[in-house]
Amino acid sequence: MIELAVPVSRDGASLPFYRRLNVLWPLTRVIMLALCALYSGMRGDLRYYYAQAGRSDVMSSMAEYPFPVALWIMAAARTLPYAGFVALFVVTAIACDAVATRLFDRHFGREAALRWTLFVGLLGPLLYMRFDLYAAFALVLLLIFNDGAAHSRSRSVLSGLAVAMGSAVKLWPAVFGLGLLGPTRRRVTHMAAAMAGGIAWVGATALLAGPQRVTSPLSWQGQRGFEVESLWGAWLGFARIFGSTPVSLEKRQGSWEYTGELANSLMWMVKPTQYVGYVLALSLLALGWRAGRDERVTTLALTMTCVISVLILSSPVLSPQYLIWLIPALVLVDDARLRLLGAVTLVLTQLEFPFLFDGIFSDHTLFALTTRVVILVRNMLLVWLTVRAVMLLVQRARVARRPASASSTSPATPA
Beta 226-227 vs 248-252: how paired, if at all?
Answer: unpaired
Give percent of the chain with pLDDT exceeding 90. Answer: 55
**Which residues are CB-contacts of 171 (< 8 A; sequence separation ≥ 6)?**
66, 217, 218
Q: Tell me, what amino acid is at 103?
A: L
Least confident range from 146-150, 227-231, 285-289: namely: 146-150
Helix (H) / strand (E) containing 42: none
Tens-place pLDDT, residues 5-19: 433 444 444 566 556
Beta 255-259 vs 226-227: how paired, if at all?
Answer: antiparallel
Hey, how many other C-beta atoms are within 10 angstroms of the C-beta on 246? 12
* Mean pLDDT for the stretch of residues 334-362: 96
Q: Closest Cα to residue 129, out of 69, 42, 65, 50?
A: 42
Least confident range from 146-150, 232-236, 307-311, 317-321: namely: 146-150
Q: What pLDDT is stored for residue 7 in this prediction? A: 38
Asked whether the beta carbons of 142 and 177 are under 8 A apart, the reply is yes
Q: Is 275 exposed, middle or buried, given 0-12, 13-18 or 19+ CB atoms closer than 10 A? A: exposed
Helix intervals (H) in 267-365: 270-291, 297-314, 327-332, 336-350
Bridge partners for 316 per DSSP: none
User: 102 in helix, strand or coil?
Assistant: helix
Helix intervals (H) in 170-269: 184-209, 211-221, 231-242, 261-265
Tens-place pLDDT, residues 292-334: 888 888 998 999 999 999 999 999 999 999 999 999 999 999 9
Least confident range from 176-190, 334-348, 383-397: namely: 176-190
Higher pLDDT, 69 or 381: 381
Q: Closest Cα to residue 112, out of 349, 346, 329?
A: 329
Q: What pLDDT is stored for residue 410 in this prediction? A: 38
Tens-place pLDDT, residues 77-115: 999 999 999 999 999 999 999 999 999 999 999 999 999
Q: What pLDDT is stored for residue 148 in this prediction? A: 60
202-211: which pairs have CB atoms within 8 A and are 24 or more residues apart? 204/67, 204/68, 205/66, 205/67, 205/68, 208/59, 208/67, 209/59, 209/60, 209/67, 210/59
* Mean pLDDT for the stretch of residues 375-388: 98
Taking CA atoms, 10 is separated from 7, 109, 298, 329, 370, in Å, by 9, 7, 20, 21, 42
Q: What pLDDT is stored for residue 62 in this prediction? A: 87
C-alpha 287/C-alpha 216 separation (Å) is 30
Exposure string for 317-350, b = 16+ CB within 10 A, e = fewer: bbbbbbbbbbbbbbbbbbbeebbebbbbbbbbbb
Q: What pLDDT is stored for residue 220 in this prediction? A: 81
Asked whether the beta carbons of 234 and 315 are under 8 A apart, the reply is no
Q: Closest Cα to residue 328, out of 30, 68, 181, 112?
A: 112
Tens-place pLDDT, residues 190-200: 888 888 998 99
- Rounded to 5 degrees, what are φ and ψ at 4? -90, 170
Least confident range from 13-22, 267-276, 333-342: namely: 13-22
Taking CA atoms, 73 is separated from 78, 86, 125, in Å, by 9, 11, 20
Query: How many helices and strands, by DSSP H and E, does the chain display?
Result: 16, 3
Angle, CA 276 vertex, CA 275 and CA 279 arms, to 5°: 85
Locate the domains of the chain by residue range. 13-216, 222-399
Higher pLDDT, 59 or 350: 350
C-alpha 323/C-alpha 346 separation (Å) is 7
Q: What pLDDT is stored for residue 40 in this prediction? A: 87
Helix intervals (H) in 63-210: 67-79, 82-108, 110-123, 132-145, 153-169, 184-209
Q: Tell me, what amino acid is at 2?
A: I
Beta 255-259 vs 248-252: how paired, if at all?
Answer: antiparallel
C-alpha 357/C-alpha 359 separation (Å) is 5
Q: What pLDDT is stored for residue 259 in this prediction? A: 93
* Mean pLDDT for the stretch of residues 142-162: 79
